[in-house]
Structure 1
């Protein structure tokens, strides 16, 4: 896959292509990590790459539920940004892929991006006067949310082993690109 989103012909394609691109960027931060590394926090916060992917899956499911008017609540769950001892990175990635597939299927079935999405009331991050958003707004929000957490994951990954986006992507997708040296795990030191 290319490093950037290809040209787009219309609004729907642009929104879904940019969301897919941000999802891919978040997923690639986990490429080559061990379970221990997926749980590592690189700052004073609870954020870990595995936890960010877990959160992104839950977040995307939350917004898809709102579109379908299958509201399940607005409360964040304790430990949402960390993998629990019984959770694995592979499970978090699979849940994220499943949430993305579900969102994509729902969006494909909606002809009008202006369709209203009822907003849950009472959450402190939602302006009190807002009663509904559009599908368009939800997609833009998912792009923003995914990109924000992708940035967190980039910093965490670089703190873990120095890996950055382009070399990780080149390794994950086996790029034949001569301008990017694909990431490889550090060789264990002998001594």
Structure 2
């Protein structure tokens, strides 16, 4: 008789080991950046293997979808790292005054929309990773119109929280699509 398996085993267990392989003690910057990297990787895992369904909505009237989360998190990465901390004039990618929920509303299973959304997210993550690695210290500040002065340290903690919250959504969205849960 084959022992029963947990539904959480539908994802590759090696991914779990790789995802949280970073340090659990030591200097603050590697702890924060590795934890954020693990959260980013979790989002990718929740979306992995889906050729369709990334834009499937959670439940009416919500427009929440896995692809919407990818697009939303690309916007969030861009806002905090490019605009606030680096001071760049970087226009929004998917949202506008006319379409403030364009990150979610514009998420469709059109292959070009999916490709462009992932590319935007990867570009923003790459910029953020470089910025965090090259910053002289965690107390580097930027000015945000919502929070006022914020440090790189605060942004890293906030981004971990942002991803962790949305990865909870991604758990439920993925389970709705094909039953895959866990990690």
Please report the TM-score for the alignment, with normalisation by the length of structure 2. Answer: 0.77
Once the 2 structures are TM-superposed, how far is the Cα of residue 98 of structure 1 from its aligned partner?
A: 1.3
Conservation of the 8 A alpha-carbon contact between 1:25 and 1:150: yes
Cα-Cα RMSD? 2.1
Q: 1:99 aligns with which of 103, 124, 136?
A: 124
Residues 1:5 and 1:81: Cα distance change in structure 2 (over 3 Å): farther
- Please state if 1:118 is matched with 2:143: yes
How many Å separate the matches in 2 of 1:7 and 1:80?
A: 33
User: What's the secondary structure of 1:38's corresponding residue?
Assistant: coil
Residues 1:16 and 1:56: Cα distance change in structure 2 (over 3 Å): same
Note the 1:11-30 alignment, pairs <5 A: 11-30=28-47
For structure 2, the residue ranges without an aligned partner over 5 or more in a row are: 1-14
Deviations 1:79-130 (A, max 9, x none): 212414754323322221111110011111111101121112xxxxx3xxx4
Residues 1:116 and 1:20: Cα distance change in structure 2 (over 3 Å): same
Aligned positions, number? 157
Residues 1:73 and 1:96: Cα distance change in structure 2 (over 3 Å): closer
How many Å separate the matches in 1 of 2:148 and 2:102?
A: 29
How many Å separate the matches in 1 of 2:119 and 2:78?
A: 13
Runs of 4+ in structure 1 deviating by more than 4 angstroms, as ranges, are 71-76, 84-87
How many Å separate the matches in 2 of 1:71 and 1:14?
A: 29
Q: 2:101 aligns with which of 67, 78, 84?
A: 78
Conservation of the 8 A alpha-carbon contact between 1:27 and 1:93: no
Greater percentage in helix: 2
Conservation of the 8 A alpha-carbon contact between 1:116 and 1:134: yes
How many Å separate the matches in 2 of 1:25 and 1:88?
A: 21
How many Å separate the matches in 1 of 2:32 and 2:128?
A: 12
